[in-house]
Amino acid sequence: MHERAGSPAQPEDLIDVDRLVSAYYDRVPDPEDPAQQVVFGTSGHRGSSLDGAFNEAHIVATTAAIVEYRREQGTDGPLYIGRDTHALSEPAWRTAVEVLAAAEVELRVDARDSYTPTPAVSHAILRANGAGTSGGVRTSGPGRADGIVVTPSHNPPRDGGFKYNPPHGGPAGSDATRWIADRANQILRDGWQRVPRLAVEKALGVATTRRNDYLAAYVEDLPDVLDLDAVRSAGVRIGADPLGGAAVEYWAAIGERYGLDLTVVNPEVDPRWSFMTLDWDGKIRMDCSSPSAMASLRDIMAPAGGGPAPYDIATGNDADADRHGIVTPDGGLMNPNHFLAVAIDYLFTHRPDWPGGAAIGKTLVSSALIDRVATSLSRRLLEVPVGFKHFVPGLLDGSVGFGGEESAGASYLRNDGTVWTTDKDGIILALLASEILAVTGSSPSELHGRLVERHGTSAYARIDAPATPHQKAKLGALQPDDVAATTLAGHEITGRLVEAPGNGAPIGGLKVTTEQAWFAARPSGTEDVYKIYAESFQGEEHLAQVQAEAKQVVDDALGA
């Protein structure tokens, strides 16, 4: 933990926006340097222009590769494109629009020339493909829509990000991202300058480029997935902090459209994020699940001198609004796992029209409390690797009612049991906290307390540490035989997993389980760090023992 974690950012912490954007256009990456190639992690290609990892060349090449890929797949409908508030997002969006327009792609840009959250793009794709209609979603055949979101999500201000969502509306799978990255890197080597482009002013004026009101379409559909009448009737006081991200205009529109007692806590947009408090490592990072990054909102909910909190529920979102953070007066910032468990327990008892066989989806690094809640609900548990793409098929056909990640990303079905989004939706999860309070009369924190009374109290933690690409590759190649021990923190090991039990997909790391605890080790797909997740149902001291033994496994694997 950095000594200034949770403290306000200072001038020396802020990026030079002009320098960052200039590097986007001026720096030409070396296509033979792996650190400067197009690489898709768990959610798109990310990097900084200052490192030669996110530059004009990358976006030209990647967009051209997406044009080729969608043609090969027979995707000839509109492509919905949105961007968040990172400094590199607008120039990358402009570059992509230039390439897409020159390729005569039916392009849909934001009607307000503004920011577009990831869930609004997913919602638009699925709506265009039939979601919310009696015909259901079409993911094959002519006229299918797809999309691009220009965002590095919660990453620091110096980073840019670029991700592709196929016609199913969710993050592209490995087959697609591998093809796109390989082709993009080939274009980098062969001469990205030869890719046809239209100047952005012309690109926005051609017949194939049209305006789409993402905000209105998304906001108007919210009653299909939430009981906002209950929220309004109960008078729940909501404080919504977009953390300077793409949801800023959406929150104001939601409050006005549905007559909610909703305050946008901080409407400021600043690509430097000068108003943020520093994250655990001393960096500015818009991670709404981090107590350090959410320190300002936590302070608002716990006024100095012990006065009453100004809101019944306060929420945060990351820059593209695909994550949620929940703050309650009685519990502070909720651990993401705690809220996921509460949300699951509530939804599966308050959505009578959901399919009886709809499963509960979780990543294998999420809390085992969710497993116990699933058992109590007599619902099938679908445990998958990290990456929301693994929930897409189930959310699309209704066989998964809820899919959630420990990093505070989730989505769930419409009230009628059909698909809402197949990408993470931090806005509906944040609003769900208010619905839960309005309907049950108890805060999500209080409901979590009741869950642990029934199912046991767990201690859960994640450790992040720096790792080189080489070290990350070694960690991702761990095998069951790499764990010679037969016990973990005094308990017999019951499983050594390198594939997820829910779908058999590779974990990209290792999970070791006992009846009372588990740990998982995996490299980050978005940053140069590795992560050790661990949980114990025998208290903090036992968790520390689990973490120590897990760290030894990782050290041995990395040769530390």
CATH code of 511's domain: 3.30.310.50
The model's pLDDT over 269-320, given as tens digits with 9 standing for 90+, comes to: 999 999 999 999 999 999 999 999 999 999 999 998 888 999 999 999 999 9
Q: Which of 215, 241, 275 is the last residue of a domain?
A: 215
Query: What residues have CB less than 8 Å from 499, skipping those under 6 apart?
Result: 505, 506, 507
Q: Which of 157, 184, 215 is the last residue of a domain?
A: 215
Residue 168 CB neighbours (<10 A):
24
Classify residue 4: in a domain, yes or no.
Answer: no
Classify residue 158: in a domain, yes or no.
Answer: yes
DSSP string, 290-340: -TTTTHHHHHHHS-TTS---S-SEEEEE-TTS--EEEEETTTEEPPHHHHH
pLDDT score at 474 = 87
Total of domains in the chain: 2
pTM for the complete prediction? 0.95
End-to-end CA distance of the chain: 21
Q: Which of 215, 237, 257 is the last residue of a domain?
A: 215
Classify residue 175: in a domain, yes or no.
Answer: yes
Asked whether 480 and 498 are in contact (CB, 8 A), the reply is: yes
Classify residue 359: in a domain, yes or no.
Answer: no
Classify residue 201: in a domain, yes or no.
Answer: yes
Cα within 13 Å of Cα(435), Cβ side: 19
pLDDT score at 26 = 98
Query: What residues have CB less than 8 Å from 262, skipping those under 6 apart?
Result: 238, 239, 240, 251, 254, 255
Classify residue 365: in a domain, yes or no.
Answer: no
pLDDT score at 526 = 66
Catalytic residue among 49, 153, 367, 458: 153
- Residue 216: name the closest of 254, 246, 165, 242 by CA: 254
pLDDT score at 479 = 87
- Residue 469: name the closest of 184, 136, 47 by CA: 47
Classify residue 122: in a domain, yes or no.
Answer: yes
CA distance 432 to 422: 17
Domain boundaries, position 175 = 11-215
- Residue 391: name the closest of 426, 370, 415, 420 by CA: 420
Classify residue 59: in a domain, yes or no.
Answer: yes
E strands within 369-516? 381-384, 400-405, 409-412, 459-466, 487-488, 491-492, 495-499, 506-513
206: tokens are 């051609």
The model's pLDDT over 446-478, given as tens digits with 9 standing for 90+, comes to: 999 999 999 999 999 888 878 888 888 888 888
Query: What CATH code is carried by the domain that includes residue 37?
Result: 3.40.120.10
Q: Which residues of the chain have pLDDT under 50?
A: none
CA distance 543 to 163: 36
Is 376 marked active-site?
no
Radius of gyration, alpha carbons of the chain: 22
Helix (H, G, I), strand (E, B) or coil at 222: helix
Query: What residues have CB less than 8 Å from 247, skipping those under 6 apart?
Result: 117, 240, 317, 321, 426, 427
The model's pLDDT over 508-553, given as tens digits with 9 standing for 90+, comes to: 899 999 999 999 999 887 678 889 999 999 999 999 999 999 988 8
